[in-house]
Chain A
Amino acid sequence: MSGNKILSVDRLTMRFGGIVAVQDLSFAAERKKITALIGPNGAGKTTVFNCITGFYKPTGGAIRLTHDDGKEIALQRLNDFRIAKQAKVARTFQNIRLFPGMTVLENLMVAQHNMLMRASGFTLLGLVGAPAYRDAEKRAIDLASDWLKRVNLLDRADDAAGNLAYGDQRRLEIARAMCTEPALLCLDEPAAGLNARESAALNELLLSIRNDLGTSILLIEHDMSVVMEISDHIVVMDHGVKIAQGTPREVRDDPKVIAAYLGADDEEAMAVMESGS
């Protein structure tokens, strides 16, 4: 049944002491599609991401990832780094987490750690300078340059990541996540803090990741111009529960969604309704 579903979240619950951040949440993300997770502030979106990527152990429920070859992985049983390494789920963070004291290129090399580790014979072959490792390193640099070209940062490759402008840092974080060659890319508010031009470029980038590479994307976003334009499917959360889902058109006309946003924040409600008109 889950033939073209890459991720299915089943009755996910996350409790912090008395606070129920996510309650009985079920949704699915389709393969090679962009699924958006939206909702007012504090709805529990980031918490869902943290459960999917293993930074939180869910209080209840199941998260299942299905690879192209049909292999199923129960994410709720894996550690954070194994989810990235074995389940091939990559993510970015709401408050950017780069390696600021390393160069842009180094950031992308760290992302290819596991591949390079294997190629360096877990350091021993690399230490003696084996040619096999040098080739692998060259390929890693090529992949990194490729991504830098895509996100338009190639001429900043040797600059410290911490010196980049905010919008550039956001794009670098996406490039870094993509350098792990993920099956599922989870982006937590990638358009936050971007200007209109940058956010249009982001749309292009995400669409090309979906269309050209066939990577499935799970997206948290407040910027409705991004969400409505590129999402194939939208899941709306409020107070930890799902209140609606469907195509952008269906969601934007849903009275429950408008009510949730109205109750939360006028500006966002305006944004939802404007994008509907």
Chain B
Amino acid sequence: MTAPSTHTTKPATSVPALLKTAVINAVIALVLFSLMVGVRTEAGSDGQLTYWTRFGELAYLVAAVFGGSIVIELLRQWIGPAGTEKLVPPAVQKGMSLVGRYLAPALLIFTLLVPVIFYDQRYILDLAILVLTYVMLGWGLNVVVGLAGLLDLGYVAFYAVGAYSYALLATNFGWSFWICLPLAGILAAFWGVLLGFPVLRLRGDYLAIVTLAFGEIIRLVLINWQDLTGGPNGVSGIPRPTLFGIPLDRSDDGLAAKLGIEFSPTHRIVFLFYLILALALLTNWVTIRLRRLPIGRAWEALREDEVACRALGINTTTTKLTAFATGAMFGGFAGAFFATRQGFISPESFTFQESALVLAIVVLGGMGSQLGVALAALAMIGGFELFRGLETYRMLVFGWAMVLIMIWRPRGLVGHRAPTVYLKKAQAISSDLVKEGHG
């Protein structure tokens, strides 16, 4: 994660250095692609090995890597973070900070009004629910990665635990959503602690790998424990949420009938929208409060310098565990919501890709920033939909957009850290000083 920022202080690269980087990258590409692309092997009709060469394509690829490295290096220098500070005049920066102050409330008011504005547009409502789900997941993971600085690549495991907890409790025992929701959170937190114990003495890359493995283990267990989880077929017929016991359906004791209005399936969508909005805002509120409590300050201190924390008498193991458990709990809530919204879940929904997406949201948003994470979720999920028209090129465009943003703002969209306590005046802390954690 430190990779992007290490280049920020580098002076402008000279032409020979630029060429050297490009040549090295091209050679690596040549070695890799000569086997993957250059030589094509296939089993012939009698099972014998046939192969042919594709040196033309290989040459194109290597040339593309060579050219691409030069372009990326140049971009780094032109629109890199060192440049933007100078390029943007102070007046504009002031205006930006003004926008920043009112952006969060404006965004919140707009979000509250989304079901009113887009009542007839089911597609937008569904998309908004999806975005909010990722906002919530992002805020949950932000506790672990952004505040405590622990790189967790298996966050989806807790999402899965939450989803299956609700699905199984509701289908097997018929418990209501509102009872299962806290249970799902508690169970996910429990798994977070269970994973945390053996893992948290590891640091950096090792922690990332083990959490990654944990995410996969949970998914494999879900696939293979057929009796309980239904294996790859998943769990279906998961009950929809009720408004304090009143179902939102066509039946006689449904909400529409009770209110004497005509039933519309949109009612449930709107209800789900406000439900996930409430859950996400709860996550946000709790996180903001926790940051200002000793536990939250200890998380951030842990990210800054673990050794100093221990010298001050902070039990780093329990501090890390609480961060893990808190993040996992929010993941569990989001999972329960996911299950009740879909009505059907299977292990396919909980692949590594989900973990990577949520982590990308946190990193892109600016680690530790609540507003940044919300904006990043909107940009990632919304942007992903926006590029839908581009069909096959969607991933390519999307990938490029991400690379450009990370070159432009290596510390994420919102790069400042707000202090949790102050004597006279709260001043935002520049992201260059804030550490990213190493454990």
- Quick one: given A98-B305, A113-B312, A160-B430, are A103 and B422 in contact (CB under 8 Å)? yes
- Quick one: given A117-B295, A123-B295, A127-B286, are A110 and B430 in contact (CB under 8 Å)? no
* Bound Cα distance A154, B310 (Å): 26
Residues A81 and B421 in contact, CB atoms below 8 Å apart: no
* Bound Cα distance A96, B429 (Å): 20
Determine the chain B residues whose CB is within 8 A of the CB of A110 once the complex forms.
297-298, 301, 309, 312, 314
Question: In the complex, which residue of chain A has the Cβ closest to the Cβ of B426?
Answer: A158
B311 contacts the other chain (CB 8 A): yes
Residues A117 and B294 in contact, CB atoms below 8 Å apart: yes
B86 contacts the other chain (CB 8 A): no
Minimum distance in angstroms from A159 CB to a CB of chain B: 7
Which of B307, B314, B417, B423 lies in contact with A113, CB distance below 8 A? B314
Residues A105 and B312 in contact, CB atoms below 8 Å apart: no
Residues A113 and B433 in contact, CB atoms below 8 Å apart: no
Residues B308 and A97 in contact, CB atoms below 8 Å apart: yes
Determine the chain A residues whose CB is within 8 A of the CB of B1 once the complex forms.
none
Residues A123 and B293 in contact, CB atoms below 8 Å apart: yes
Most buried by A among B304, B315, B435: B304
Minimum distance in angstroms from B119 CB to a CB of chain A: 36
Minimum distance in angstroms from B427 CB to a CB of chain A: 5
B313 contacts the other chain (CB 8 A): yes
B342 contacts the other chain (CB 8 A): no
A101 contacts the other chain (CB 8 A): yes
Determine the chain B residues whose CB is within 8 A of the CB of A55 once the complex forms.
307, 310-311
CB within 8 Å: A-B pair count: 136
For residues 403 through 422 of chain B, which have their beta carbon under 8 Å from a beta carbon of chain A? 417, 419-422
Determine the chain A residues whose CB is within 8 A of the CB of B307 once the complex forms.
55, 93, 97
* Bound Cα distance A176, B308 (Å): 10
Residues A127 and B421 in contact, CB atoms below 8 Å apart: no
B379 contacts the other chain (CB 8 A): no
B256 contacts the other chain (CB 8 A): no
Residues B425 and A99 in contact, CB atoms below 8 Å apart: no
- Quick one: given A113-B312, A113-B314, are A158 and B294 in contact (CB under 8 Å)? no
* Bound Cα distance A180, B433 (Å): 24
Question: In the complex, which residue of chain A has the Cβ closest to the Cβ of B289?
Answer: A127
For residues 253 through 305 of chain B, which have their beta carbon under 8 Å from a beta carbon of chain A? 286, 289-290, 293-295, 297-298, 300-301, 304-305
For residues 136 through 182 of chain A, which have their beta carbon under 8 Å from a beta carbon of chain B? 137, 141, 145, 154, 157-160, 162-163, 176-177, 180
Which of A99, A103, A116, A163 lies in contact with B294, CB distance below 8 A? A116
Which of A81, A109, A112, A176 lies in contact with B310, CB distance below 8 A? A81
Minimum distance in angstroms from A31 CB to a CB of chain B: 21
Minimum distance in angstroms from A236 CB to a CB of chain B: 26
Minimum distance in angstroms from B397 CB to a CB of chain A: 34
Determine the chain B residues whose CB is within 8 A of the CB of A100 once the complex forms.
304, 433-435
Minimum distance in angstroms from B120 CB to a CB of chain A: 40
Q: How many residues of B contact A (CB 8 A)?
A: 38
Question: In the complex, which residue of chain B has the Cβ closest to the Cβ of A88?
Answer: B313
Minimum distance in angstroms from B184 CB to a CB of chain A: 20
Question: In the complex, which residue of chain B has the Cβ closest to the Cβ of A87?
Answer: B313
Determine the chain B residues whose CB is within 8 A of the CB of A137 once the complex forms.
421
Question: In the complex, which residue of chain B has the Cβ closest to the Cβ of A99?
Answer: B304
Determine the chain A residues whose CB is within 8 A of the CB of B94 once the complex forms.
none
Residues A127 and B293 in contact, CB atoms below 8 Å apart: yes
B10 contacts the other chain (CB 8 A): no
* Bound Cα distance A112, B308 (Å): 13
Question: In the complex, which residue of chain B has the Cβ closest to the Cβ of A91?
Answer: B311
Residues A101 and B417 in contact, CB atoms below 8 Å apart: yes
A102 contacts the other chain (CB 8 A): yes
* Bound Cα distance A145, B298 (Å): 20
Residues B421 and A163 in contact, CB atoms below 8 Å apart: no
- Quick one: given A106-B421, A145-B423, A158-B424, are A97 and B294 in contact (CB under 8 Å)? no
Residues B423 and A81 in contact, CB atoms below 8 Å apart: no
- Quick one: given A84-B310, A97-B308, are A103 and B297 in contact (CB under 8 Å)? no
Which of B421, B422, B427, B434 lies in contact with A101, CB distance below 8 A? B434
Question: In the complex, which residue of chain B has the Cβ closest to the Cβ of A117?
Answer: B294
A85 contacts the other chain (CB 8 A): yes
* Bound Cα distance A172, B427 (Å): 19
Determine the chain A residues whose CB is within 8 A of the CB of B313 once the complex forms.
81-82, 84-85, 113-114, 180
Which of B286, B295, B297, B433 lies in contact with A160, CB distance below 8 A? B433
Question: In the complex, which residue of chain A has the Cβ closest to the Cβ of B326?
Answer: A123
Determine the chain A residues whose CB is within 8 A of the CB of B310 once the complex forms.
55, 80-81, 84
Residues B304 and A101 in contact, CB atoms below 8 Å apart: yes
B316 contacts the other chain (CB 8 A): yes
Residues B304 and A81 in contact, CB atoms below 8 Å apart: no
* Bound Cα distance A190, B434 (Å): 24
* Bound Cα distance A154, B423 (Å): 9
B311-335 vs A, Cβ < 8 Å mask (1 yes, 0 no) = 1111110000010000000000000
* Bound Cα distance A214, B301 (Å): 29
* Bound Cα distance A111, B429 (Å): 20
Which of B286, B316, B420, B429 lies in contact with A81, CB distance below 8 A? B316
Question: In the complex, which residue of chain A has the Cβ closest to the Cβ of B295?
Answer: A123
A120 contacts the other chain (CB 8 A): yes
Determine the chain B residues whose CB is within 8 A of the CB of A84 once the complex forms.
310-313
Determine the chain A residues whose CB is within 8 A of the CB of B311 once the complex forms.
53, 55, 80, 84, 90-91, 93, 97, 177
Cβ-closest 4 pairs across A and B: A101-B434, A84-B313, A85-B313, A99-B304
Mind listing 17 A-B residue pairs with CB under 8 Å?
A53-B311, A80-B310, A84-B313, A98-B304, A99-B305, A100-B304, A101-B300, A102-B304, A109-B297, A110-B309, A112-B294, A113-B314, A116-B294, A123-B293, A137-B421, A141-B423, A157-B422
Further pairs besides A53-B311, A180-B312: 9, Cβ < 8 Å: A81-B309, A91-B311, A98-B308, A99-B305, A101-B429, A102-B304, A109-B420, A113-B312, A157-B424
